[in-house]
Structure 1
Amino acid sequence: MNIKITGSGSYIPTEIVSNIDFAKHVFLNDDGTPFPHPNDVVAQKFLEITGIQERRYVTSDLNTSDIATIAAKKAIEDAQIDPETIDYIIFAHNFGNVKNGAIQADTLPSLATRVKFDLRIKNPKCVAYDMLFGCPGWIEGVIQAKAFIQSGMAKKCLVIGAETLSRVVDLHDRDSMIYSDGAGATIIEATKEEGGVLAHESASFTYDEAYYLFFGNSFNKTHDPDVRYIKMHGRKIYEFALSNVPKAMAACLNESGIAIDEVKKVLIHQANEKMDEAIIHRFYKLYKKTPPDGVMPMSIHKLGNSSVATVPTLYDLLTKGKLEGHELKKGDVIIFASVGAGMNINAIVYRM
């Protein structure tokens, strides 16, 4: 028995927000003082570091659970399964539903429950729960689905990663330019086909690193102090990721028994182009290699960082032939890898 992704789907929001759209924002330092550089300089430096030219936001009528349901329906259709046969719905997100203009997150009921409701699944033995694991949540959900299937507790699982970060960003913080919205979903099944998940690796670093990403006040000190926004210590995250993600990827690859030269693609969390490129070079350096051209497809340039949605969305676009210059064939070996709030790290070696 092998455990494979048998279907995938994604939702790419329709609202395109370019770097130019931030021209009128009033960026501030964390102490509330004016930022010393004009916005055109900020935008240019931002582009050079992150590679992000534009990002996608959901329209005001949609919430995280809504776009997750759209992606899930596509994945179910792609896998050609009856949704009533799904044993688990694992929904990875971080902030719940945040309605347009609201200041509270809504997770009652859970977003997985809402997706099950929207899919009109009647089967009470289809267990729906949410996963809070930072940006690596979808990968961790796949790892849990694999465990359920291996244990005999499930045959089919729906694993979703979705987020609407545009509703939890501080518009006075330059880091708000990084974040975006999106949803990706996959069906994980036991199958007699060759391939599937070959190895996985997970870790949580909390002793010093727990609050590298956190909820904090606006940099604008006149804003309501009881309203919180996503905040991060970018330099610490960058250094942490470079030190730890390549090691986790290597440990996972070594466990799989696959040679690094067999790896066709590395699908890494679309956090920051400069950081991702540094991670991939550090990873290959562990094997005294340099990364092959085209081994790391990127979606961040046009889609931004949609947190837990980046990896499943990237996978769906890649398998559907929607990333120019990239393709996957049956039998190809790929690596999924992510890092995010926690600080959590994980990786999967997977054969198509």
Structure 2
Amino acid sequence: MKSGKRSANYWANCVNTMQDHLLLTAGPTPISEEVKQILSHSMFYHRSEKFIQTYESVTHRLQYWLRTKNDVIILTGSGTAGMEATISNLFSPGDHVLVVENGKFSQRWSEIAEAFQLKVFRLVVPWGKSVGAEALVKNLTAIGSLKGIFLTHCETSTGALTDLEIIIPAIRHQTSALIVVDAISSAGILPLKPDDWGIDVIVSASQKGLGLPPGLAFVALNNRAWIFSEQSELPKYYLDLTRARQSFQLGRGALFTPAISLIFAADHVLSQIQQKGLENIWRERQSLAHQFRARLTELGLSLFPEIPADSMSVIKFEPSVNAKQVHAELKEKFGILVSRGQGQLAQKVIRVGHMTNIGEPELERCLSAIQTILSTKIG
């Protein structure tokens, strides 16, 4: 085979190899057979009446999924696109913002904000820990003219949960700053009630709680956030939330060409979620996480985060066990794909996702494999 060229058989073999693996990463999640069928349908024109109706349906169903009555804007891109859109549409150069950093993905808020020349104040929390209301109040009152507070509901690098239900009411009346939450690894999986709790902006995406391929980002904004958008002086074009909102309100659907197949798949999945009931799904995911962790305890293992989110289980190992090797053996010997530890946790933890389209049989298979691997290293 000549360099740079790949045959159809090559790609078919790649797909078959991946299909043989059990996907238990911290995102993306497995997709259902029904979604696969929808994604294989003939292409639609995104300005057709049928597609615009579906686009509107998805937008309204997302309000149910995110438990909000506020506007939800759909973007074509990953969750990071939603994060960048939030900053570029709602803030201006020099604005003071507070970012709670307790892992790799919460640090991304700081990186994006600094790229757009915002003045970032960091509340650094040790990896695996969760910020408390007292520490947050102390920091926000020390910052003058604070415009934004950025939180991460589930920090995917550590599995730590930020208890928004407790924290946000404690700070909501202490500041006029926008409260922005990354819910990419929590929406549709963990209890999330932005309107009740006082969250101004929620960012999420398609590849975790919805069980879809990556490619859609969602930004839900309340009226306070839209007022901030009118004052923003940062450049934006493709991720212009105001223009996207106007396009939707005028009945034109998406501002630019969207991920058409993903929109149809999202409509199907969101319809199923409504039929099942979001609260029932929250309870189901919680029960599954607790069962999995009880079995981990039986194996003598424990979790890394102090307050774990039920989206995933970040498993820590004794210093004598290299987590990177466990990760490699799960893949090579057992056909199980989990997520590696990141940064300072690279050799200390593995991250097992149990977000969507994953049940007891899949997690039991993972547990059995981990037990076998550890028996050869410790026994």
Q: What TM-score does the superposition give when structure 2 sets the normalisation length?
A: 0.28
If you compute each CA radius of gyration, which structure gives the higher value, 1 or 2?
2
Instruction: Give the structure with the larger helix fraction.
Output: 2
Instruction: Give the structure with the larger strand fraction.
Output: 1
